[in-house]
Amino acid sequence: MVTGAASGIGYAIAERLIAAGGSVVAFDLDSRGLDTAAERFGDAFIPHHGSVTDTRDVQAAVTLAESAMGGVDGLFNVAGGLRPAPVTDLTEDDWDFTIDLVLRSVYLCTKYVAQSMIRAGSGGAIVNVASVNAHLPLFGGSAYAAGKSGADMFGKNAALELARHGIRVNTVLPGLVETPMAGFILENEGIMNEFYANAVLKRPAQPDELAAPAVFLASSDASYITGSSLVVDGGYEIGSYPDLSKHL
C-alpha cells in the first residue's frame, strides 16, 4: 500500500513496485491522478480514493488490500503537505491540517496495516517518508518540521514494538524534491538561488531518487535494517539551509 500514490514520490514508488512484478493499493485524495495512473499501470495499480487522516478511509484501504491482493506485505507512508506561515501567524486550523497529514496519517496507516500483517503472520516492512526538516528548521514550516520529526521518531518506536511480529519499520528523509508539493519553493527564484549556492549536489532530487532507497528499505536486501533514518537530501543537511524568511 502506498499513500500519496497519485503523484510525486508515492507515484514513483508505485511505479517501481509494479515494474518489479508487485501490485499496489494506491491511496490518495487525488481521484483524477489515481485514474490517470490506473490507465497507465493497469490491474496492478489498485486505486483507493480517500483521506489518510480518516480512520474509516484507512481501514477501507486495508480491507481493499486484503481482498484484492490477499494482504499487505509493505506499506509506504508518503502522503504529505503543509500550509506555511510563521508561528505568530499560523492558525490552529493550519497547524492541525499539517500535523494530521504528516503525522496522524503515519500513525493510522501503520496501526491498521500492522494489525493486518500480524493477522497474516508473515511479517512485512513499513517505510515512512519524512523530511530533512525533521532535523532542520524551516521558516514558516514549524508544523511541518514538528510533524516530520514526530514521524521519524514514531517510526523508531513502531520498529521497536513491531519487531517481535517480523515487521521492520524505517524512515527516509528527503531534501528538496521536484514534486507538486514543493512548487512554492521550486518556483521562488530567491530561494532556489540560495539552494544552488548552499546545496552539496547543486540540484533538487527527482522522485525516483527517493523511490529507490524507499523500495530498498522494504526489500529483503534490507532484512537487517529497522528503526533507521536514512537522509536522502543530496548532502543538503551538511550544507547550509537557506533563510526562507527573506523570500516569503
Interatomic CA distance for residues 130 and 145, integer angstroms: 9
Determine the pLDDT at residue 50. Answer: 98
Nearest-Å Rg of the Cα atoms of the chain is 17
Determine the pLDDT at residue 220. Answer: 97
| In a domain? residue 238 | no
| In a domain? residue 80 | yes
| In a domain? residue 187 | no
| In a domain? residue 190 | no
Residue with cell 521497536: 160
Determine the pLDDT at residue 205. Answer: 87
Domain span holding position 215: 2-178+205-233
For residue 61, give the CATH number of its domain: 3.40.50.720
Interatomic CA distance for residues 214 and 103, integer angstroms: 18
Domains in the chain, number: 1
Edge-to-edge strand ranges of the sheet holding 124-129 = 45-49, 24-28, 2-3, 74-77, 124-129, 167-174, 229-232
| In a domain? residue 23 | yes
Determine the pLDDT at residue 114. Answer: 98
Interatomic CA distance for residues 49 and 116, integer angstroms: 20
| In a domain? residue 191 | no
Report mean pLDDT in 10-residue bins for the chain, 248 residues. 97 98 97 97 98 98 97 97 95 98 98 98 98 92 97 98 98 89 74 77 90 98 98 84 64
pTM of the model: 0.92
Q: Catalytic residue numbers? A: 144
Determine the pLDDT at residue 248. Answer: 61
Q: Is 139 exposed, middle or buried (0-12, 13-18, 19+ CB in 10 A)?
A: middle
| In a domain? residue 6 | yes
Determine the pLDDT at residue 188. Answer: 75
Joined together, the cell numbers standing for residue 42 give 493497469
- 3-state DSSP of the chain: CEECCCCHHHHHHHHHHHHCCCCEEEEECCHHHHHHHHHHHHHHEEEEECCCCCHHHHHHHHHHHHHHHCCCCEEEECCCCCCCCCCCCCCHHHHHHHHHHHHHHHHHHHHHHHHHHHHHCCCEEEEEECCHHHCCCCCCCHHHHHHHHHHHHHHHHHHHHHHHHCEEEEEEEECCECCHHHHHHHCCHHHHHHHHHHCCCCCCECHHHHHHHHHHHHCHHHCCCCCCEEEECCCHHHCCCCCHHHCC
| In a domain? residue 212 | yes
